[in-house]
A = this chain, B = another copy of it.
């Protein structure tokens, strides 16, 4: 157990430096025969360089940190898969931590990443406090933010066109004849959700529909929050005929509330989500939603971060906002006669 480069060197009858040169195709050349002999010993002993020692010596680690707010929403595992796919390809491993949208945990993870001397972190903020970013910066750790923007600061980020998504969803409902359109918001807005909300508001205005803030209710992060939010909207004085939810989790939870209220979707009520998580195509009725390229966002985030770490110029395409598109399924339909 624990065969080291010294062992390999001794068995192969060379110095440890030579072993290192063979392993790393090192800065110095090694003769064909010696190299082959060393490689043979490595094969037989199963030697694997100790990454701890190597990283210590090289003053860098090949691990990148990833902080996500909440793995309940399948959105995040999918982004994480995208990140991991690129990282793995480039020889990096990923340390995934979830903050449960809690600032203290975010900061604890940031400190841990610093202790581990990771060269870079991908951060999906869970709150609107950006202290973790400043700490990372202070530690000299490269940081990429996904799907969020840090106000008043040029932070490397991978974003999608959330405003356009909000436009598409809202316009779709208006085109179906809806005039009273509810909105389920994020409990505390971040750039991605405020973009969606902005799209909602401007599209209403563009179509001459006044914004009514009684139609906006706060959602949450789990299905139950969506159910509750829809129940709230159904209970107001002049309820909406359609709802646009800031994410699919809210919408799927909302479908349940509508079902329980005896409302038939889309005949009696329309519902549009955002994200296009896998489940959306399999609800009954299937959910109309805005497709977000989650896997690609993760990939772009990893590409950008690795470029920053290795001081290369990030490819153009990872910096341009990813486009979204409306996926019309079965949960949206023409407004029912009694409302028009």
Contacts and interface: CB of A to CB of B under 8 A. Distances in A.
Contacts of A114: 48
A84 interface: yes
Contacts of A50: 56, 115, 117
B281 A223 contact: yes
A51 interface: yes
A322 interface: no
A94 B48 CA distance: 21
Contacts of A51: 115-117
A327 to B, nearest CB: 15
Contacts of A307: none
B71 A80 contact: yes
A95 B95 contact: yes
A184 to B, nearest CB: 15
Interface residues of A, number: 51
A77 interface: yes
Contacts of A117: 50-52
A252 interface: yes
A46 B115 CA distance: 11
B256 A111 contact: no
B77 A72 contact: yes
Interface in A91-128: 93-98, 111-112, 114-117
Contacts of A98: 81, 84
A140 interface: yes
Contacts of A13: none
A269 to B, nearest CB: 13
Contact of A97 (B78, B84, B253): B84
Contacts of A188: none
Contacts of A320: none
Given A52-B116, A72-B278, 20 more contacts: A1-B139, A48-B114, A52-B52, A56-B56, A63-B95, A72-B77, A80-B96, A84-B97, A93-B112, A95-B95, A96-B96, A223-B278, A252-B279, A252-B282, A255-B282, A256-B284, A256-B286, A259-B284, A283-B283, A284-B284
Q: Which 6 A-B pairs have the closest CB atoms?
A: A71-B77, A96-B96, A51-B115, A52-B56, A259-B284, A1-B140
12 contacts: A50-B117, A51-B115, A51-B116, A52-B55, A53-B56, A63-B95, A93-B95, A95-B96, A222-B278, A223-B282, A255-B282, A256-B284
